[in-house]
Amino acid sequence: MRRIINLKLHWQIFIAMILGAAAAAIFGERMLPVAGPMGDIFMRLLRMVIVPLILTSIVSGVAGIGDSRSLGRLGAKTFGYYVMTSTLAIIVGLSLTNLIQPGVGVEVTGGQEVSPEELEQPGSLADVLTRIIPINPIRAAAEGDILGVIFFAIVFGFAITQLPEKQRTPLLNFFDTAFQAMMKLTRVVIRLAPIGVFGLISRAVSTMGYDVFAAVGRYMLTIGLGLSIHLFIVLPTIFFLLTRRNPLDHFRAVASAMAFAFSSSSSSATLPLTLESVEKNAGVSNKVSSFVLPMGATVNMDGTALYECAGVLFIAQALGFGLDFGQQIMVVITALLASIGAAGVPSAGLVMIFIVLQAVNITSPAAYVLVGVMLAVDRPLDMYRTMVNITSDSIGAAVIAHSEGEQLTYPMAMGEETA
Ligand code: ASP
């Protein structure tokens, strides 16, 4: 027991995943009364820290950047990185789906078990984008509207930089100290991750229905393959080209965050772990991580972008809907926007698929039946794409920190112990 407690956190999380899956396989739904509360308590603790963590982290990070030129430069790099990696992910998804054609031959029958009408459909794209500006920042915080909180924190942090020094210093100190306190609290919560992961994984495995999987196996394989190419080839290559460091060091540094993203299917819930691992195990400054990561958790979703594109092409193929080149470009653009608009919570990406479908005029009931089927098999894909999403955020933080002249330190590369 002692030995397990002394293991690095990511190993503890991996063991918890395996035990959780094994317990669910043996005990099935009888695990739910135990697994449910274990997962829920941990998710609630994480959600409790998210809003104050994001607020204090961004305000202190942005206010600490100092001048509007540095802020603009950091903003441009971050935005450039987000768009570049998400677009590359979409291209991988587009190419694979055209190559493998997973939708061809899939039968669309009525009366699927899942009714797509139950899904809450998002508004138009313009709606999604305008809603980034919160009417009331306090309400945004109270309702967990992360993008609204981020928007307010950035402009507020920027306003602090414009104050005369006498007024600026106490505010900066306040947010800095509040952020340190939030990080302390976060670290305590993170220590409980293995227990939470055990609960989340055993619940996911024990409630999954397996019959539908066979019908759409090729679709799932296509997306799984695309995500793997992006995670293990595209992102490490970008990391290596821009930092000349070994990508494995980075993967090791963020392993706990990756494992937790996989278990929770939520980039937002994983954010505390991502921040902690990037700062502590990769040596990225708070100035950079607090700017790149919170926003990345909601805006930069490579896995989701790939999924939106591949998912819509799958539906088009299943319905025998030929998409010409122009329409495929439309899919690429709207998939990018939909991934930006998707919240960092489970299955958010699937709901956003309606926006991409509308953009290419696929609105028949049969298409919605297919979305229902996709929902039935969404959990494992959601787990994987969330892991890809946060890995891309963390690589973005490292790459941008490097470009700002920061020295990346990977103590784990030298075998030193870190969480
Ligand atoms: N669950 C994903 C995330 O939080 C979003 C998605 O559904 O694609 O990153």
Residue nearest to atom 8 of ligand 1 (CA): 349
- The pLDDT value recorded for residue 3 is 63
First to last CA, the chain: 18
Q: Is the CB of 389 under 6 A from ligand 1?
A: yes
Cβ neighbours of 298 (radius 10 Å): 26
Rounded to the nearest whole angstrom, what is the distance from the C-alpha of residue 386 to the centroid of ligand 1? 5
CA pair distance 414, 350, nearest whole angstrom: 41
Rounded to 10°, the helix 68-100/146-161 angle is: 150
Q: Is the CB of 267 under 6 A from ligand 1?
A: yes
CA pair distance 359, 163, nearest whole angstrom: 45
- The pLDDT value recorded for residue 120 is 55
Contact at 8 Å (CB) between 171 and 76?
no
CA pair distance 365, 390, nearest whole angstrom: 34
Residue nearest to atom 1 of ligand 1 (CA): 346
Q: Is the CB of 222 under 6 A from ligand 1?
A: no
- Could you tell me if residue 419 is inside a domain? no
The string of DSSP letters for 86-119 reads HHHHHHHHHHHHHHH-TTTT----S--SS-GGGS
CA pair distance 381, 29, nearest whole angstrom: 21
Enumerate residues 6+ apart whose C-beta is below 8 A from 130. Answer: none
CA pair distance 271, 397, nearest whole angstrom: 13
Token pair of 82, please?
């987000």
CATH of residue 137's domain is 1.10.3860.10
> Which ligand 1 atom is the nearest neighbour of the CA of 268?
4
Kindly tell me if the per-residue pLDDT of 213 is higher than 70.
no
Tokens 């708070």 map to which residue?
Answer: 286
- The pLDDT value recorded for residue 221 is 93
Rounded to the nearest whole angstrom, what is the distance from the C-alpha of residue 89 to the centroid of ligand 1? 15
Among 163-172, 348-357, 384-393, the minimum mean pLDDT is found in: 348-357
Question: 399 versus 211: which is more confidently predicted?
Answer: 399
pLDDT single digits (tens) 43-86 = 888 888 888 888 888 888 888 777 778 888 998 999 999 999 99
Kindly tell me if the per-residue pLDDT of 122 is higher than 70.
no
CA pair distance 262, 11, nearest whole angstrom: 14
pLDDT single digits (tens) 269-311 = 999 999 999 999 999 998 899 889 988 988 899 999 999 999 9
Rounded to the nearest whole angstrom, what is the distance from the C-alpha of residue 159 to the centroid of ligand 1? 32
Contact at 8 Å (CB) between 331 and 94?
yes
pLDDT single digits (tens) 259-270 = 999 999 999 899
CA pair distance 133, 117, nearest whole angstrom: 29
Domain residues for the domain of 23 are: 2-414
Q: Is the CB of 344 under 6 A from ligand 1?
A: yes
- Could you tell me if residue 248 is inside a domain? yes
Number of domains making up the chain = 1
- Could you tell me if residue 21 is inside a domain? yes
Question: 63 versus 414: which is more confidently predicted?
Answer: 63
- The pLDDT value recorded for residue 2 is 62
Question: 400 versus 291: which is more confidently predicted?
Answer: 400
Enumerate residues 6+ apart whose C-beta is below 8 A from 347. Answer: 265, 375, 378, 382
- Could you tell me if residue 166 is inside a domain? yes
Q: Is the CB of 391 under 6 A from ligand 1?
A: no
Q: Is the CB of 386 under 6 A from ligand 1?
A: yes
Q: Is the CB of 345 under 6 A from ligand 1?
A: yes
Contact at 8 Å (CB) between 259 and 282?
no
The string of DSSP letters for 297-348 reads HHH--HHHHHHHHHHHHHHHHHTT----HHHHHHHHHHHHHHHHHS-SSTTH
Task: Give the sign of the dihedral formed by CA 251, CA 256, CA 260, CA 263.
Answer: positive
Q: How far is CA 127 from its chain centroid?
A: 21
Tokens 């990511």 map to which residue?
Answer: 10
Mutate to test the pocket of ligand 1, among 85, 336, 389 (most ligand atoms within 8 A of CB): 389
Contact at 8 Å (CB) between 62 and 291?
yes
Of 419, 401, 405, which is closest to residue 281 (Cα–Cα)?
A: 419
Enumerate residues 6+ apart whose C-beta is below 8 A from 383. Answer: 204, 261, 262, 263, 265
Rounded to the nearest whole angstrom, what is the distance from the C-alpha of residue 281 to the centroid of ligand 1? 24
**Top-confidence range, 170-174, 231-235, 260-264, 380-384:** 231-235
> Which ligand 1 atom is the nearest neighbour of the CA of 301?
9
Tell me how long the chain is: 419
- pLDDT-above-90 percentage for the chain: 39
- The pLDDT value recorded for residue 215 is 65
Enumerate residues 6+ apart whose C-beta is below 8 A from 284. Answer: 278, 397, 398, 401, 406, 408
Q: Which amino acid is residue 315, in one-letter code? A: I
